[in-house]
Amino acid sequence: HEGELSPSPLGIATTVSGITPKDAVQILKPLLDARTKLILKGGLHPVYLVTPPSSPIEPDWKNYEKILHTLYQEHPDAQAVAAYLGIEEGQLVTFAFNPPARSNTSPKVQLYRRFFSAILLFTLVQEWPITSV
């Protein structure tokens, strides 16, 4: 009807999912990108896509690179996902020596935080002992 407001599909999905509008916008681009390239081998990419961008978990920046190498040893396919998302070991070294402040919400830092949370979720899905993470 003319003059009536109606929610967009993204608005409906955001409301139904219970995520914040800010998180919904951050989730949308990777989901749209996944329509043309979704890395199913290994399972990490789908886990990343469902990981909330604003996870309250702060990475262990000093050990993040080591955790990533352990993941690569156990699941070599994870390296392709990290590369596709833009996770760089050099940046992890920088963050290890100069960790970003918790208040830092730059897209780059958010990417690394979200990927760290995805690694934790992935290890649970794979039923690794949580102490091995």
State pLDDT tens for residues 10-49.
Answer: 888 888 888 888 888 888 888 888 888 888 888 999 999 9
Strand, helix or coil at 117? helix
Non-local (6+) Cβ contacts of 81 within 8 A are 39, 42, 44, 45, 48
For the chain, report the end-to-end CA distance as a whole number of angstroms.
54
Closest CA to 19 of 62, 64, 54: 54
How many whole angstroms separate alpha carbon 31 and alpha carbon 14?
A: 14
Read off the pLDDT of residues 63-120 as tens digits, 9 standing for 90 and up. 999 999 999 999 999 999 999 999 999 999 999 999 999 999 899 999 999 999 999 9
pLDDT at 60 (0 to 100)? 93
Look at residue 2 and tell me whether its pLDDT is greater than 80: no
Give the position of tokens 């309250």. 56
